[in-house]
């Protein structure tokens, strides 16, 4: 019984980790989100797309009207999903 529960827990942890997307995203898809238009981001679009294609998600430090925020971008099959979180 302990082995089964340990195996189930291990499987749950592995499934919850972020995975690379099925298809690679492009800079044009990143620009369509509008984050580089309205927010000040220090990371280059190339490095952001590379991180999304490698890890499946990326968290960026950014500024919006002199307020620090975090931007979480997830690579989903239907496209990029952007979440903005205040620090």
Which stretch of DSSP H or E encloses residue 80?
A: strand 79-86
Q: What are phi and psi of 65, to 5 degrees?
A: 50, 50
- What is the distance between the terminal CA atoms of the chain, rounded to a whole angstrom? 43
- Within a domain: 13: no
Tell me, yes or no, whether 5 lies in a domain: no
Look at the chain and report how many structural domains it folds into: 1
Determine the structural domain holding residue 79 and report its residue range: 18-86
When mean pLDDT is compared across 12-16, 34-38, 67-71, 76-80, the lowest value belongs to: 12-16
Task: For 2-53, write each residue's pLDDT tens digit.
Answer: 666 665 556 555 555 567 778 899 999 999 999 999 999 999 999 999 999 9
Q: Is residue 12 part of a domain?
A: no
pLDDT number for residue 27: 95
- Residue 11 located in a structural domain: no
Give the three-class secondary structure for 57: strand
- Residue 56: band (very low, low, confident or very high) from pLDDT cuts 50, 70, 90: very high
Angle, vertex CA 51, rays to CA 24 and CA 66, nearest 5: 120
């Amino acid at each position: 019984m302990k082995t089964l529960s340990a195996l189930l827990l291990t499987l749950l942890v592995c499934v919850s980790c972020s995975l690379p997307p099925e298809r690679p995203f492009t800079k044009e898809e990143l620009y369509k989100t509008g984050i580089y238009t309205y927010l000040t981001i220090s990371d280059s679009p190339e490095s952001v797309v590379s991180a999304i294609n490698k890890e499946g998600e990326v968290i960026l430090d950014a500024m919006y009207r002199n307020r620090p925020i975090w931007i979480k971008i997830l690579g989903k099959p239907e496209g990029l999903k952007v979440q903005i979180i205040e620090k």
